[in-house]
Amino acid sequence: MDKYANKIIDMTGSDTLILKGTPAVLTPISKIIKTGLQVIPEGLPVEQALSEIVLYYNALYKITRWTEPNLVVELGVRRGVSSVAFLNAGAKKLVSFDPVDQTKENDAITVNMRKRWTFHKMTAEEGYESLSKDYPSIDLLYIDVSPHDYEQTQKFLNGYWAHNVKKNGHIVLDDASPRQQVPCGGGYGVLEAILEFIDGHEDKIDYAFSVFNIKSNGTAAIKLKQKL
């Protein structure tokens, strides 16, 4: 078992894993897997946000509402459920990358939404290589790209789009529930990559958490206090 095995838990109900920071607003919670400073800024409505983050759409919608991003870069789209969450929550500009465009199947995507949305039919890797210079200051980076494993998550956190996230920006990842790791390649791939990233950049990270329940794949959020 990897070195993080004793820090990763499974839950049958909804819960929060605090990956960095022990903010008083979130206690008591059942498990805290990393300790640190109480770094969530005063006034940030995290308690309200986390009480509602139990499913995929609600998680992304709520995170977007309280981070108020100007620019969201979305890696992995499928039918656009996450895209609709970002746009409905008020993201001023959404830029998405996916090699397959299934968004035409989603009736929830309106004409007005598309005015704030740029879709690139290419992989996240291709997008970074050809277009990353066009988006040097990302407020919220969302990562939800197959196969959702350790190697891929590590690559995106350490070598690709994460370096374009601005100071006080957020990195949000899907499939961050402990129970979701086995279907996504076994072990604790996504969470292990996130924990390694936090360990290697603790001086640059404000806070990090993962929210999940038995019905969801889990959503993790990392706030950077400075660029990587």
Give the per-residue pLDDT at 104. 78
Phi, psi (deg, nearest 5) at residue 74:
-110, 120
pTM listed for this prediction:
0.78
Residue 215: Cβ within 10 Å count: 10
- Per-residue pLDDT tens over the stretch 198-215: 888 888 988 887 776 555
Q: Which residue has the higher pLDDT, 179 or 156?
A: 156
Average pLDDT over residues 53-75: 80
Give the per-residue pLDDT at 40. 31
- Characterise 201 by phi-psi region: left (phi > 0), alpha (psi -120 to 50), beta (else): alpha
Candidate from 44-53, 138-147, 194-203 with smallest mean pLDDT:
44-53
Phi, psi (deg, nearest 5) at residue 210:
-130, 130
The CATH class of 5-213 is alpha beta
Residue 41 reports pLDDT greater than 70? no
